[in-house]
């Protein structure tokens, strides 16, 4: 019957979407594993806390697929440091979202900790679409701002928040504000 035919098509479409989600998740996890700097068997104690505020993004470009479907984007940001991944809420129909979302990460090594930043288009019935991403060493971010946590100046005073624009591989940029709270004196590397 016609009902059975449409039901079968619907079930196949759902199963295809589930498979696509699983493949996308596996590729994201594999990509993060390439940049992973920690060995879970030899976990290190935390030496500092990174307080990060994801403020806003600019110049987000929808993909060709999105433009062809004549739909807007609902972007959100995902940040990973070590084993912890945190997300902002998604902002409906915006290419310049303002999130102002606080996040907190524990740091184990200023020279080896990596910050993964990705912006995705929130999808209700399919996997999120990546709109841009980057990975950067925490030490590079700190040196760029002149906020080296190993300096004696940093050890003697409270951390001052820094605001920085980070450019993603798609050409869009994200503005973050961050500061570091030392938990103990980091050993010289």
Q: Which CATH number is 96's domain given?
A: 2.60.40.150
178, 90: one domain: yes
Does 38 have pLDDT greater than 80?
Answer: no
86, 158: one domain: yes
**Nearest partner of 131 among 58, 27, 36, judged by Cα:** 58
Does 167 have pLDDT greater than 60?
Answer: yes
Q: What is the mean pLDDT of the chain?
A: 82
Does 33 have pLDDT greater than 60?
Answer: no
Does 81 have pLDDT greater than 90?
Answer: yes
* Mean pLDDT, residues 32-54 taken together: 69
1, 69: one domain: no
Q: What is the pLDDT of residue 84?
A: 92
In a domain, 187, yes or no: no
Pairing label, strands 98-107, 129-137:
unpaired
79, 149: one domain: yes
Q: Which residue has the higher pLDDT, 184 or 186?
A: 184
Does 186 have pLDDT greater than 50?
Answer: no
* Mean pLDDT, residues 50-72 taken together: 85
In a domain, 149, yes or no: yes
CA angle, corner 172, sides to 38 and 52, nearest 5?
45
Q: What is the pLDDT of residue 45?
A: 85
- Kindly state the helix (H) or strand (E) to which residue 69 belongs, with its residue range: none
* Radius of gyration for the alpha carbons in the chain, expressed in angstroms and rounded: 20
In a domain, 151, yes or no: yes
145, 167: one domain: yes
Band (pLDDT 50/70/90 cuts) for residue 100 is very high
134, 60: one domain: yes
Q: How far out from the chain centre does Cα 55 lie?
A: 13
The number of distinct structural domains making up the chain is 2
In a domain, 188, yes or no: no
State the number of CA atoms in the 13 A half-sphere of 105 facing the CB: 25
In the DSSP assignment, the letter for residue 42 is G
- Entry pTM: 0.71
28, 112: one domain: no
Q: What is the pLDDT of residue 78?
A: 96
In a domain, 126, yes or no: yes
* Mean pLDDT, residues 131-139 taken together: 92
105, 16: one domain: no
Band (pLDDT 50/70/90 cuts) for residue 87 is very high
65, 126: one domain: yes
30, 103: one domain: no
24, 115: one domain: no
Q: Tell me the range of 29-43, 108-122, 135-149 where mean pLDDT is highest.
A: 108-122
20, 51: one domain: no
Q: Are residues 103 and 52 in contact, defined by beta-carbon separation less than 8 angstroms?
A: yes
In a domain, 95, yes or no: yes
Task: For residue 142, give its domain range.
Answer: 44-182
């Amino acid at each position: 019957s016609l009902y059975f035919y449409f039901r079968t098509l619907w079930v196949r479409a759902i199963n295809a979407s589930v498979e696509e989600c699983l493949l996308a998740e596996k590729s994201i996890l594999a990509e993060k594993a390439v940049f992973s700097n920690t060995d879970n068997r030899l976990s290190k104690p935390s030496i500092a806390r990174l307080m990060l505020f994801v403020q806003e993004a600019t110049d987000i470009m929808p993909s060709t697929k999105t433009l062809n479907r004549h739909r807007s984007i609902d972007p959100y940001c995902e940040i990973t440091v070590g084993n912890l991944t945190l997300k902002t809420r998604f902002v409906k129909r915006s290419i310049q979202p303002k999130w102002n979302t606080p996040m907190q990460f524990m740091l184990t090594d200023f020279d080896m900790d990596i910050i993964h930043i990705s912006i995705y288009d929130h999808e209700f019935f399919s996997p999120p679409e990546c709109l841009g991403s980057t990975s950067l060493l925490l030490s590079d971010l700190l040196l760029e701002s002149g906020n080296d946590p190993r300096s004696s100046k940093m050890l003697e005073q409270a951390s001052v928040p820094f605001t920085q624009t980070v450019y993603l591989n798609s050409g869009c940029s994200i503005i973050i504000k961050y500061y570091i709270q030392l938990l103990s004196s980091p050993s010289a590397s």
